[in-house]
Amino acid sequence: MRTFLSFITLIILIALSWHSVLLLPLKLLVVFFHESSHAFATVLTGGTVHSLQIVPEQGGHVISSGGSRFIILSAGYLGSLICGLLLFLFSVYTDKDHYLTAGLGLLMFFVTLWYADSLFSQLFGGFTALFLGLSAYYLPAKANDFICRLIALSNLLYVPLDIYDDTLARSHLSSDAAMLADEFGGTTMMW
């Protein structure tokens, strides 16, 4: 019961603080995972990733060629959702959270090394990878468990919050949903 209450409390705190500047690093991390999902989908469907960028304004893009455009465009939200779900389940059902934190750090390091091509993306990816690696090595298991759950829940909450932003609050801006509508028909809201 205690775990359930801490889980609910964390969800509420993240949701209520979503527009706070205090969550900016966490939100940028979630954007990094979103864009990384586009990059992975590109590679998995036979395409080539030319660049991955995130920007301080909590946005980003992947420039790629080839691959399945439908899967690539869909992968941002779905990748964030799957990543958040898997990370949450692993953090709940294992006591080896420092391995998860270290794995996230390594993943960030390699994605940054291979694909990030702007200074901000490289610095953010590099410092976040370093933070996660040091956390895995130096922090106790409970701290690593908290870090993993915080990242996981933020990824899960990001999906509906960003879909709301993309389809209602900022529907005039380009988004994955707008690109799906342009290329495959339908409306941004539908996608």
Pull the structure tokens for residue 164. 């709301």
pLDDT value for 173: 64
Closest CA to 54 of 74, 37, 41: 37
pTM value? 0.89
pLDDT value for 164: 67
Domain boundaries, the chain: 2-184
pLDDT digits (tens, 9 = 90+) for 31-68: 999 999 999 999 999 999 999 999 999 889 999 999 99
pLDDT digits (tens, 9 = 90+) for 109-156: 999 999 999 999 999 999 999 999 999 999 999 999 999 999 999 998
For the chain, give the mean pLDDT. Answer: 89
CA 169 – CA 176 distance, rounded (Å): 15
* Cβ atoms 189, 167 nearer than 8 A: yes
Looking at residue 18, the DSSP 8-state letter turns out to be T
CA 153 – CA 148 distance, rounded (Å): 9
